[in-house]
Amino acid sequence: MKLIQKLFTALRGGAHEVGEAIVDKNALVILDQEIRDATAEHTKATDALKTILAKQAIQERNIEALDNDIASLTQKALKADEMGKQDLALEIATAVGQKTQERDAQQTLLNQFKDFAEKQRSTVVKMDRTIKSARSQAEITKARASIQSAQKSVSAATSSSTSGLNNAMESLNRLREKQDLTDEELKAGEALEAETSGASLEARMKEAGIEEDKYGGASILAGLKKNTPAT
């Protein structure tokens, strides 16, 4: 039983590591999506704020209208009372009370709208700042990732190029060694051929003046003189 639990724990640990690796590999993609999600929520919050502000404006107009009605009815109630029309004055005063009650209820609702709008406005502004900051940081992170990727590519290319150049120099050195060996072999062959054919000995004798060059200018001139009769 303990073995099974350990195996299960190991699998969970492995899955966690794989999950972290996937998250790390797709960090920028996840970041972009999170910013899009936050932007969508910000849009919803902004729309809700607009709706509340619109209702608040309507509520303010309703209260203003009630205030005008109350002011008008109050004047009429006072005028009826001055005229001695107590029943009418009382009826109008009752209407003033009803309007005042309605106005107070509307004011309570307006105050709620104002409180909610203020809180919502604070939330929207904070969200907007956070999103803008996240976008800026995301751009910096992307630029940094691009630079680091380029640096890695350059480093790898430089390493590969250096290795390639080293290999090329080794090949060139081996080729030169083979060419030098071939040159020496050709020279040795020519020397061996000269010694075998006797040409080398004749060349050395002619160089020492022992062997006369019958085709040389001196030999030809001497022959010409010899074959010319005296006059």
Dihedral (CA of 180, 181, 185, 191) sign: positive
Q: 89-127: buried (b, 16+ CB within 10 Å) or exposed (e) per residue?
A: beebbebbeebbeebeebbeebeebeeebeebeeebeeb
Which carries the bigger pLDDT value, residue 126 or residue 211?
Answer: 126
Tens of pLDDT along 87-129? 988 998 899 999 999 999 999 989 988 888 888 888 888 888 8
- The CB density around residue 147, as the number of other CB atoms within 10 Å, is 10
Q: What pLDDT does residue 200 have?
A: 60
Residue 168 and residue 176 in contact, taking contact as beta carbons nearer than 8 Å: no
Least confident range from 57-66, 94-103, 184-193, 203-212: namely: 203-212
Residue 116 tokens, joined:
């909610």
Query: Model confidence at 75, in pLDDT bands (50, 70, 90)?
Result: very high
CA distance 97 to 91: 10
Residue in the block written with tokens 């790390």: 24
Query: Model confidence at 184, in pLDDT bands (50, 70, 90)?
Result: confident
Model confidence, pTM: 0.48
Q: What pLDDT does residue 122 have?
A: 86
Question: What are the two backbone dihedrals, phi and then psi, of residue 2, each rounded to the nearest 5 degrees?
Answer: -65, -40
